[in-house]
Structures are given as C-alpha cells and as structure tokens.
Structure 1
Amino acid sequence: MANISSPLRQHSGDDDDEVGIPKRRTLSEWDNDVAAATIAHFFIIYSNASPNMKTRFRALEMLWHFCVQTYSVQVKDGVDETTISASSVKIVSSNSTFDGENEWDSFILSDETGEGSFNVTTSPIHVQIDEDFRHAFSGDWSSDPSNRLPSGLAYQLGYNLMSGVSATTPDEKFDNLTWKNIHTYTDHIAEGMTAFLRTADAQGSVEGKGFNRETYMFVRWQWLALLAGQVGLTVAFLVAIIIHTARIGVDVVKSSNAAELFALRRIDLEEQV
C-alpha cells in the first residue's frame, strides 16, 4: 500500500482562488537552491502491509525541480548519441515581483562551472504543471484488488514502487528494491519533461561547440635517424670491402651451397642401399 500527498498551497488572506507557489515544508535538509527551483513536491508513505510478518512503514520525499544539464553529443556513422555529462542546480540571482494579484519568482541558473545564464520565471504554466502533478499523483494505492481507487499515475507509481517486493522480502532487499523502483520511475518522468522543454520551442536555437576527431601521426626522428645511420654504415662497409678487394687484385670466388646439398642427398641414398 502507498499514500501520496503534497504540501499545502501558499495563500495570502482568505482568497482560496489565488494562484501561487506551494509552501516547501520539507522533511529533509534540501539544498536551498534545489528547494527554490522545485516545481512539484510530494510525500510518499508506503508499506508492505502483510499480515504474515511485521508491517514495514517507509516514507520518502520527492522533488521535481529545474536544473541545468550539460550534454555531450557524439556522431558515429551518421548517428548521433546524446548523453548527460553534468547536472547542477546553482541559482546565481533571484527576484520576486508582484503584479497586483500574484507574486512571481524568477531566478537565474548557471551550469556547474558557473558559466552561462538560464532564466526561469514562475509562470501560470509552471503553476499549472504543479496543479496537474497534484491531481495526477495524489491518492492511495493498494495491492488489494477490492481497494483500488487511485488515479492512473498514482496506481502506476504504487505498482512500480512495489515491483519485485513480496511479503517475505528481507528488510534490506525491500529498501533497495523500492528505492531503485521509485528512482527509475521518477527519472523517466523527469526525462520526459526535459525532452518536452528541449523540443517545445521550434523557433529556438541551440548554442554549443562542435568537435571533429582528428588523427595525428608523430614521427620520432631519433629512431629514423638511427635506422638510417645503420643502413648507411652497412652500405659504406660493403662498398669499402669491394673497393679494397679490387685494389689488391684478389679473385672473388662465388660460392653456392647447392653442391653440399647434393652431396648430403647422395650419402643418404647410399646408406639406404
């Protein structure tokens, strides 16, 4: 079983229709920049709820937030491959404005090296995303078929959360599996939202650096000089022998190992006979 809830909205006065950002009443010691950049915030309480063994209650806090990702793009055989090389949440500056009805926050993010500036302004779209997430994920989930009244996403979250877990799963394995399951599920949602943000602006432009692979050949002239010297000395030695042999008038007898080979062959035949 699982229960999914989110913090209350922030209102001023008694106006329940006012649009604003939710209060970040966190249970964990989140980084200040992460808390300020959060767009959706949830608490999940879950348990195996098995009558066959002790009930194990667990709780986790889940935040979806803005961040700056650095991508590495490689092209091989005409196919590009994009991977995330770095991810950071660093707010360089922030500002709050009041338009007479609502208060909007804006902040500027930078990458992990402190370079680049990415402006994020709280807008009705962001508030609507938060509202949609609240309606989609809030609710209860149970593995009991007679007690399933959650939303589609809440059901999927609870189902994925308990994937691979049984009543006899040890505590350590129970924690490892549920943590891995929720991590995979939330990552997929974040990747989908990121892909939408990257492709939503068809008129936008992408700035970056393109690198082409270049192959360099380093020639070690020292080794080439040594080889050339050896060859040159060998040739000079042979030339010197030829010249000195010609000067002293010594006849050069050309030798061949063919006679020795035939002689050995003849001896072998005589032994066989």
Structure 2
Amino acid sequence: MVTIDTFKQRALEYSGLGPEEIVLYLGKIKELEARIVDEAQITENEEQVVKARKVHDWLMALNPDRGNTQREAFDYYRLDKVIDGDLERRTEAIGRCAILTAEYVIITYDLGLDTVPLGLNGRNIQHSLTGLKHNKGYILIDNVVPKGFGARYKPEALQCIRRRGFNGMLADILSAKSSAMNLEGETEESVRVLRQAIKISPDAYLYSNLGNRYLKLYETADNQDRVLQMAFNAYKRSRDIRVGKGLPVIETVEVMLKVMKEAYPHLM
C-alpha cells in the first residue's frame, strides 16, 4: 500500500509540477490507504468492477443523492471498449470509472483553473487541462466542489483550493482516512491518524473532529477524566484558531465548550 509520503512523491513525479501547482481533490471511500491506479488497471482489470460495486454501495449509504452519478459509471465502463475513437467520451468513461475503482487516485490541475469559464464541468476540466497522454490517474472529487464529480465549479471552490495548499490537501486525505476508521469502529486509531493530519496542517475543523472522537472514546476509556480534558482542549483549540483569524466559531464547538464547562467545571 502507498503511504502518505510515497503518495506525495508520486504526485510530484507524475505531474512534473511543483507542490504549489498540484491540486489533490479529496474523496472518502471505504479503503483506508492511498493507492495509485493507472488507466490500464482501470480499463483492463475486471476485479476493479467488483470493487467498484462495493464502493458504490458504500457511497450510496453515505450519501444517497450521489447514487445516480456513481451508477452511471458502470454504463460508461461497458461503453469503454466501444468508444475508442471518441476521445471526449473515452476520457469521461475512464474518469468516472476511476471514481468508483480507486482508493485514492491523483488528478493534477494547472492552477490557471480560475481563467477557465465557470460553466465548465468536471469532465471538461479533466480532459482539457490534463489530457490522457499526460494524466497518470484521477482523484475522487468530493470535498471542495459541491455535489461531487459532475458539479459545476464555483469561484469559492477555486479559492478554497488555493487557500488549502498542498499540506492542507494531504491533511484532508488523512482526515478522510480517520473518518473511515471511525465509521469502522476503529476510533482509537482514527484519533492517531487525525492527530497526524493536524501536525501537517492545523485546522479548526480537524480539531473539532478530534474533540468529537475523544468524546466517542469516553464510555470505554480507562481514564475518563483525561479523555474529557483532551476533548475540551481540542474544542478550545478549534475555537482559538477561528477567533485568531477573525472568523465565527464553529457552532457545535461553541455549544460543546459551554456544556463541558457547566458539567465538568473541576476539569476545565
């Protein structure tokens, strides 16, 4: 399996760009580690279809609204060998299959993205800015762009990409891995991974999630007071980051800090 370090290195090697020019869109799926999936694996390995069905079912459970888009990919996969001569449709087919079959895969964009018309959709950006001969993989699009792969790109999304930067995107990947572990009941390990993400790129939302994870551990913890204290500290750090930037505090963080101070004054 590919670790975060090799993931970063391969992203640099494959793109030929500098770190500041690489955009990694995050997708959260059930498998927990990053892996590079190239075009040959996507189009020739029938095992990928089996995996795709499993991933589709998981995505449907996570967000039913995205189900139709994911299901369409199977039709594109079947069409793939039929449409060899049609570059646009073939590119879209490979991209949509990648969404279903990859654990984490990479698509690199030139950050001149803000110069293209805002009406461009995911497919057009995919084949116009990368192209099959330069592209070594695709990334699941979920986090920054509303409603997933086929969504129209908005100015706020483009600005968010610039703000997050390369370390921010790597932290997001770890955060998604942590979330998947948490869903699988591996909360202690998910805390460890989330703390690793925070070291790479401290973020108010990551600290908020960390507080939530600690509270989930409370029931079974040997030292419950310590777990509560760590949850409180994580929420407080989340609040301090937002306040320091002149931004409103995340509502749930504000509520949790208030509740915990009232319920456990001796700890806070």
TM-score of the superposed pair, with normalisation by structure 1: 0.24
More helix by share: 2
> Comparing both chains, which one has the higher relative contact order based on Cα–Cα distances under 8 Å and sequence gaps of 6 or more?
2
More strand by share: 1
- Return the index of the structure with the highest Cα Rg: 1
TM-score of the superposed pair, with normalisation by structure 2: 0.24
